[in-house]
Amino acid sequence: MSENVITPPSAPVVVLDHPLVQHKLTRLRQASTSTAGFRRLTREISLLMAYEATRDLPLETVEIETPLEHMEGRLLSGKKLCLVSILRAGNGILDGMLDLLPAARVGHIGLFRDPESLEPVEYYMKLPEDIDVRVCIVVDPMLATGHSAAAAIDRLKTAGARQLVFVCLLAAPEGVAFLSAAHPDVKIITCSIDRELDEHGYIRPGLGDAGDRLFGTK
């Protein structure tokens, strides 16, 4: 997959510029896209993002038999993946990734953004017990201020996670800078870094509230 890699002060950021990603993202942004269409497009983009997020998974050589002969093949090595959804909107990305990675374990972290302070407030967390030996792909459609993402990764590290990637549809420069400074070891994968945050903490030009558009709640 073609990509542009930019280097902010700390963690690497990968912006996916594949034509299919950009086509689907443009349709996702449109205000006229229905709830059903928004869900479908999010699921399709999520599958493409999962491809990039798993690029560096380790492989091991195994002996197998094809219908014609013996050969050496390669399979994923050791404990594999944990997909961690930041509720509620992260579930829109989670569903698409599970289409590609059905054997992955799944964790959930419930956070909401206080409308006054814009700070994250945790209300739920459930993770696999062996999260310390799995690559954790943390998913949330928007990286706005970066506070919720950083808080979620703080909790995951406290729980023992050591290998983390953060995946989102859109990011604001402010969110990239905040998350990169807070967690310089965590790669950020996104489809676009948009212009800015507005006074309400929304990404501009953005796509609106991803959770509301996914679940038809507004």
Question: Residues forming the annotated binding site for uracil?
Answer: 203, 208-210
Structure tokens at 132: 């310390």
Give the closest residue to 28 by CA, choosing from 84, 86, 88, 89.
Answer: 89
CB atoms within 10 A of CB 142: 27
Task: Give one word for 155, left, alpha or beta, with left for phi > 0 and alpha for psi -120 to 50.
Answer: alpha
CB atoms within 10 A of CB 85: 23
Binding-site residue set for 5-phospho-alpha-D-ribose 1-diphosphate: 88, 113, 140-148, 209
The 3-class secondary structure across 131-186, one letter per residue, is HHHCEEEEECCEECCCHHHHHHHHHHHHCCCCEEEEEEEEECHHHHHHHHHHCCCC
